[in-house]
């Protein structure tokens, strides 16, 4: 009887012990706070301190939610995930010494959303803001990316360099005071890349605003830019390029501004179509080279550039 009683007493204790055993089950929604700790569970009552800490405890396809202003550090994203700051204040990360704020190295079906983040470089040769190497899609929304410096391949606000067919969407975002604001440079062979930029400001770059470069083995690159601005860039505002003779890159520019750049619009062995846009105050308004095609829908304002004011070939409006 004594033995039975002892076993009955031990069983609840074991069950209680198992219940309290450390568990690292991931959550579909995690939270970060400037008052958090990465040793926490990252749930709402006990948030993590950094994006990296929360990423490790978030299920694939889940989201990290920012609770208050703070500096949350850089990270490498390896799965489908959303990082969301919906107006609680600056959710920031600093980049310095040839580093990267956010590196994305996901699987072929992974989709990444970044919303409401501030990424800024500190000092000379600070590095890159967001670098995308692999994944199905990247969506950047309501972000500020600034002061990323250094010579190529450094100093890029958003570097989209996929090794497989991928999509990029950027909206309501400012990239300012970088070496290059946004770079689209596929590195995979025979892949297709699609990008949409809407309400994006690419300002004060030491080199270029939007720079699209296709390689000799790259597939089709199709970029659409709407309601956006490339201004005060030392080199070019909007540039589309392909390998010589390839002409696989296409850039459509709608209701946008190329203002006060050394060169407003550039197409090199690529197709550039422009409608309802303004090109003014640039050293050269527009320039084509190689097998490039520049087409205007006849409704643009191209004036006030010392060179390159001539109307491009008009394409019919449909």
Across the 318 residues of the chain, what is the mean pLDDT of every consecutive 10-residue run?
Answer: 34 38 72 97 97 97 97 97 95 94 97 98 94 97 96 92 95 98 90 96 97 84 97 97 78 98 96 96 95 92 92 81
pLDDT value at position 46?
Answer: 97
pLDDT at residue 22 in the model = 43
Q: What's residue 153's pLDDT?
A: 84
CA 198 centroid distance within chain: 13
What is the phi-psi region of residue 115: left when phi exceeds 0, alpha when psi lies from -120 to 50, beta otherwise? beta
CA dist list (Å): 218 to 164, 165, 186, 193, 241: 10, 10, 7, 9, 12
Number of H helices, E strands in the chain: 2, 29
Q: For 95, which DSSP code?
A: E
Q: What is the pLDDT of residue 9?
A: 33
Q: For position 20, what pLDDT does the model report?
A: 41
The reported pTM is: 0.90
For residue 47, the model assigns a pLDDT of 98
* Structural domains of the chain, with CATH: 65-314 (2.160.20.10)
CB-facing half-sphere around the CA of 306: CA atoms within 13 A: 6
Q: What confidence score (pLDDT) does residue 245 get?
A: 63
Please classify residue 15 by burial: count the beta carbons closer than 10 Å to its beta carbon, then call 0-12 exposed, 13-18 middle and 19+ buried. Answer: exposed
Look at residues 310, 311, 265 and name the one whose alpha carbon lies nearest to residue 292. Answer: 265
Give the Cα separation of 152 and 246 in Å (integer): 24
pLDDT at 12: 39
Helix, coil or strand: residue 33: coil
**pLDDT tens-digit readout, 266-292:** 999 999 999 999 999 999 999 999 889
Question: Could you tell me if 259 and 281 are in contact, meaning their C-beta atoms sit under 8 angstroms apart?
Answer: yes
Q: Is 169 helix (H, G, I), strand (E, B) or coil?
A: strand
What backbone torsions phi and psi does residue 152 show, to the nearest 5 degrees?
-45, 130
- At residue 33's C-alpha, the angle toward residues 171 and 72, to 5°, is 60
pLDDT digits (tens, 9 = 90+) for 165-192: 999 999 999 999 999 999 999 987 878 9
**Per-residue buried b or exposed e for 91-127, using 16+ beta carbons within 10 Å of the residue's own CB:** bbbbbeeebbbbbbebeeebbbbbbbbbbbbeeebbb
């Amino acid at each position: 009887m004594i033995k039975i009683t002892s076993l009955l007493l031990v069983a609840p204790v074991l069950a209680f012990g198992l219940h309290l055993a450390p568990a690292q089950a991931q959550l579909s929604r995690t939270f970060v706070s400037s008052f958090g700790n990465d040793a926490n569970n990252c749930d709402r009552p006990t948030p993590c301190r950094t994006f990296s800490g929360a990423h490790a405890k978030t299920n694939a396809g889940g989201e990290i939610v920012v609770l208050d202003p703070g500096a949350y550090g850089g990270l490498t994203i390896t799965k489908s995930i959303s990082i969301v700051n919906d107006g609680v204040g600056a959710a920031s990360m600093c980049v310095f010494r040839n580093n990267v704020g956010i590196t994305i190295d996901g699987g072929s079906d992974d989709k990444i959303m970044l919303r409401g983040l501030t990424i800024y470089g500190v000092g000379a040769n600070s590095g890159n803001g967001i670098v995308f190497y692999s994944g199905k899609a990247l969506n950047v929304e309501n972000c500020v990316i600034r002061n990323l410096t250094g010579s190529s391949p450094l100093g890029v606000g958003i570097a989209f360099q996929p090794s497989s067919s991928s999509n990029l969407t950027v909206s309501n975002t400012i990239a300012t005071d970088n070496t290059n604001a946004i770079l689209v440079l596929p590195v995979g062979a025979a892949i297709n890349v699609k990008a949409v930029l809407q309400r994006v400001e690419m300002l004060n770059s030491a080199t270029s605003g939007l720079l699209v470069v296709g390689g000799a083995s790259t597939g089709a690159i199709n970029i659409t830019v709407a309601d956006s601005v490339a201004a005060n860039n030392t080199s070019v505002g909007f540039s589309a390029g392909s390998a010589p003779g390839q002409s696989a890159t296409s850039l459509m520019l709608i209701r946008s501004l190329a203002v006060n750049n050394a060169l407003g619009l550039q197409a090199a062995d690529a197709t550039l179509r422009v409608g309802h846009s303004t090109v003014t105050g640039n050293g050269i308004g527009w320039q084509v080279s190689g097998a490039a095609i520049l087409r205007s829908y006849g409704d643009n304002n191209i004036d006030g550039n010392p060179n390159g004011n001539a109307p491009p070939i008009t394409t019919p409006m449909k």
